[in-house]
Structure 1
Amino acid sequence: MRALATLLAALVFGAGAQAAPRCLSDCTPRIGIVSAFGAEADILIAQTQKKRSWTLAGKRYTTGLLRGQRVVIVLSGVSMVNAAMVTQQMLDHFRIERLIMSGIAGGLNPALHVGDVTVPERWAMPMEVYWNDDTQVPAPCGQKGDVGCLGLKLATGADGQPLRPYAPGLFMRETHVLTAANAPKGEFRFDYPVDAEMLAVARTLTPKLERCGPKARQPSGEVDATQCVREQPQLRVGGLGVSATVFLANADYRQYLFETLKADTFEMETAALAHVAHANGVPYIALRSISDLAGATEFNADVGALFMSGLAEANEAAVTLAFLDAWTARIKGAKKKPL
């Protein structure tokens, strides 16, 4: 009898634990919005209705209703570590069904202009590396390129060979990630695709992106041209975004990333969020406003205009809000379809 009671208790409590929602603070289904740029988070929070603030380990989370969607908004702070920590904390304390990352990025693709807003279709971490002591492909486990005995895996190209190192011996690695689906072995990934359904919605967006920020308009009503970018900002969907634990101010490395990976943008948060999202099985997408050409040394008046006028956060927020509008419309349209 005791053995039977123990078995029944294990089944009951085990099933309950597995079925329990992952929400220590609030179990309302929401879209989580992680912003890396404080001014943009302020714009989104200002438009959020029925707001409630939660403070968790010093981080302020704001729940409410934004453009027809129940959301929770948080400022991650700069860096991969902060982004990963805040994203996991959000997933633990709220019932997050989808994630949106928004903020600013440096451009790697010279075809991009200051003020453009990009929506990459996948994100990678190129500074996850194996640093060999010479120019040869590492072979610590016997065969060239085999680092499996160290619990690692080199990133490879379409030809199956390790990607060209940036500096002698500096080879890109894939990142190991453990999920409920692949445990206990886990898997290695070089990049993390964004959610296909969210990306499809992003491709339909036609947000009004401004060339001059809100601070460009003077009390007289005239527009200060020095606070306007020269090219009309565009929404650009697709391509690869990359993130790392460095602030990129090196033109040579920028060119290497563009030539080797065909990457468009570089910043310090999204790929960490993508890793956490994948590990937890939560769909995500990221929207990034281009601030400059990463590592550029020449003076660019557009960069000053972007930040001084408030254009960076205004255009980024405009795309985030347009996405939420389109997502709400998609959900309403799906509900109206006959079964």
Structure 2
Amino acid sequence: MQLKKLLTVLGTVGIVASLAACSSMNTTKKTFVPVTTSPQYLTDSTPRLGIIAAFGQEADLLLASMTDKKDYLIRGKKFTTGQLENKAVVITLSGISMTNAAMTTQLLSDHFQVKGLVFSGIAGSLNPNYHVGDVVIAKGWMAPNEIYFANTTDLPSACGSAGDVSCLGLALDQSIPPYQQQFFRQTNVINAANYQNVALTTKIGDQNIPVAYGEMKSSFAVDANMWNIANTIHSNIPLEAICSDKNNCYQPKIVMGQRGISSGSFLANAKYRDYLHTTMQGDYVDMETAAVAQVAYANDIPFIAFRSLSDLAGADHDPNVAAFFGSGVAQRNAAKLTIGFVKEWNIR
């Protein structure tokens, strides 16, 4: 036990010593040589709207409505260019998980001139006021898997004072109450607009030493223009009804929501669902969109997401969910909204 404590102390001392050794360099404003030439897209330079679907059936519905289709196989993933509602688009599948979604979005950005990005798929509801089949459009996205997981519920003080974890290159978002010992933290994001900004410093002696550049962010807002288009058209998109039998049908709605939540975890816990809804004001949860939103922000691509609700996240297993998936209603409704949005969206 004494050896373990000694190693912990030595490790902390090593981090601080390394930062102190770099203090004279880090306190001087960094000089960068930015690339000023126009981006060279690896595959196709036509300005397009990028559409990422979560499941193949939804993508198939969109692909069936396209003309002038051309397929590209990049790193084993298929990207299809063409015209949808007389607009130039490129469509691909994200794959399930935050990492797959992030990689797909970056590939899309590197290989095609994406002037806007729509992500569409299904999600679990966090808001008990919403119904299975409703399509929700959130104003912004967060990823609560970005956390500081502590031993106790006390505010972490890894770097001296309560709430200070800056010497680890991290920053807590104390505006969001923790879930048990899990403290929500901000994400470091660098893009062309913020790369010279000092995002985070840590105190060593009497100096504030930079430990991160860019920004420390908690959430990623969807594009205001895209949001306004969706808000204008959403009441005019005729969604398909969900029927358990011919006498028992529900007419889904398109809802302009507040916040989407994404995590690498599949949410099957009612208590955590309630925390995400009541504390983080989450409307629904999935395993991809916040990653797509972050990559879009890092690449300065306007972004929005449409998610059709498949079930109540964290609820007991409902056998009707499988039937709902199999019916294809969620995919068809999401595709209808996407096509309606494409009609009104213009490349800028």
Name the CA distance, whole Å, in 2 between partners of 1:298 and 1:55: 38
Matched residue, 2:101: 83
Displacement of 1:231: 2.5
Displacement of 1:47: 0.7
Displacement of 1:258: 0.6
Tell me, yes or no, if structure 1 residue 59 matches structure 2 residue 59: no
Name the CA distance, whole Å, in 2 between partners of 1:60 and 1:196: 30
Residue identity opposite 1:143 in structure 2: S
Matched residue, 1:289: 308
Which one of 135, 140, 148 corresponds to residue 153 of structure 2? 135
Tell me, yes or no, if structure 1 residue 166 matches structure 2 residue 183: no
Name the CA distance, whole Å, in 2 between partners of 1:178 and 1:227: 53
Tell me, yes or no, if structure 1 residue 68 matches structure 2 residue 86: yes
Displacement of 1:182: 1.1
Structure 2 vs 1, CA of residues 227 and 41 (structure 1 numbering), >3 Å: closer, same or farther?
farther
The correspondence of residues 223-242 of structure 1 with structure 2, limited to 5 A, is 225-226=244-245, 230-242=249-261
Name the CA distance, whole Å, in 2 between partners of 1:279 and 1:61: 21
Name the CA distance, whole Å, in 2 between partners of 1:227 and 1:153: 54
Structure 2 vs 1, CA of residues 227 and 90 (structure 1 numbering), >3 Å: closer, same or farther?
farther
Name the CA distance, whole Å, in 1 between partners of 2:277 and 2:312: 11
Name the CA distance, whole Å, in 1 between partners of 2:239 and 2:248: 11
Matched residue, 2:238: 208
Instruction: Give the count of matched residue pairs.
Output: 298
Displacement of 1:227: 8.8
Tell me, yes or no, if structure 1 residue 18 matches structure 2 residue 36: yes
What whole-Å deviation, never above 9, does each CA across 1:232-271 have from its counterpart, x for those lacking one?
1000013000100111111111011011011101000010
Displacement of 1:98: 0.6
Q: Give yes or no for contact 2:126–2:285 (8 Å, CA) kept in 1.
A: yes
The two structures have a TM-score, normalised by structure 2, of 0.82
Matched residue, 2:138: 120
Name the CA distance, whole Å, in 2 between partners of 1:78 and 1:209: 25
Task: Give the strand-richer structure, 1 or 2.
Answer: 2
Structure 2 vs 1, CA of residues 22 and 112 (structure 1 numbering), >3 Å: closer, same or farther?
farther
Which one of 276, 283, 302 corresponds to residue 295 of structure 2? 276
Displacement of 1:305: 4.0
Structure 2 vs 1, CA of residues 68 and 105 (structure 1 numbering), >3 Å: closer, same or farther?
same
Greater CA drift, 226-235 or 99-108: 226-235
Tell me, yes or no, if structure 1 residue 263 matches structure 2 residue 263: no
Matched residue, 1:29: 47
Structure 1 gaps of 5+ residues are: 1-13, 158-162, 213-223, 335-339
Structure 2 vs 1, CA of residues 123 and 22 (structure 1 numbering), >3 Å: closer, same or farther?
farther
Name the CA distance, whole Å, in 2 between partners of 1:154 and 1:199: 29
Matched residue, 1:183: 195
Q: Give yes or no for contact 1:227–1:306 (8 Å, CA) kept in 2.
A: no
Residue identity opposite 2:333 in structure 1: N
Matched residue, 1:9: none
CA RMSD of aligned residues (A): 1.9
Displacement of 1:304: 3.7
Q: Give yes or no for contact 2:257–2:283 (8 Å, CA) kept in 1.
A: no
Name the CA distance, whole Å, in 2 between partners of 1:203 and 1:237: 7
Q: Give yes or no for contact 2:156–2:163 (8 Å, CA) kept in 1.
A: yes
Structure 2 vs 1, CA of residues 243 and 252 (structure 1 numbering), >3 Å: closer, same or farther?
same
Q: Give yes or no for contact 1:22–1:91 (8 Å, CA) kept in 2.
A: no
Name the CA distance, whole Å, in 1 between partners of 2:255 and 2:90: 26
What whole-Å deviation, never above 9, does each CA across 1:18-66 have from its counterpart, x for those lacking one?
3233410000000111111111011001111100000001000000000
Name the CA distance, whole Å, in 2 between partners of 1:18 and 1:130: 38
Q: Secondary structure of the equivalent of 1:290?
A: strand
Q: Give yes or no for contact 1:22–1:94 (8 Å, CA) kept in 2.
A: no
Q: Give yes or no for contact 2:262–2:290 (8 Å, CA) kept in 1.
A: yes
Matched residue, 1:251: 270
Q: Percent identity?
A: 46
Displacement of 1:228: 9.4
Tell me, yes or no, if structure 1 residue 198 matches structure 2 residue 215: no
Q: Give yes or no for contact 1:227–1:304 (8 Å, CA) kept in 2.
A: no
Structure 2 gaps of 5+ residues are: 1-32, 197-212
